Amino acid sequence: MRKLICCFRRKAGISVQEFQSYWLEDHGGLALRLREDLSAYRYTQSHTIVRKMTDKARAVRQTAEPFDGIAEAWFQDEVEIKDVEANRKALAQMVEDEAKFIDFKNSVVFYTEEHQIF
How confident is the prediction along the chain (118 residues), in pLDDT tens digits per residue? 789 999 999 999 999 999 999 999 999 999 999 998 988 889 999 999 877 888 888 899 999 888 999 999 998 766 666 778 888 999 999 999 999 999 999 999 999 988 889 9
Q: What is the residue range of 100's domain?
A: 2-113
102 falls within a domain = yes
118 falls within a domain = no
Q: Write the CATH number for 103.
A: 3.30.70.100
pTM: 0.86
98 falls within a domain = yes
103 falls within a domain = yes
7 falls within a domain = yes
68 falls within a domain = yes
Look at the chain and report how many structural domains it folds into.
Answer: 1
pLDDT recorded at residue 24: 98
What Rg, from alpha-carbon coordinates, does the chain have?
A: 16
Strand partners, 49: none
SS (H, E, C) the chain: CEEEEEEECECCCCCHHHHHHHHHHHHHHHHHHCCCCCCCCEEEEEECCCCHHHHHHHHHHCCCCCCCEEEEEEECCCCCCCCHHHHHHHHHHHHHHHCCCECHHHCEEEEEECCCCC
8 falls within a domain = yes
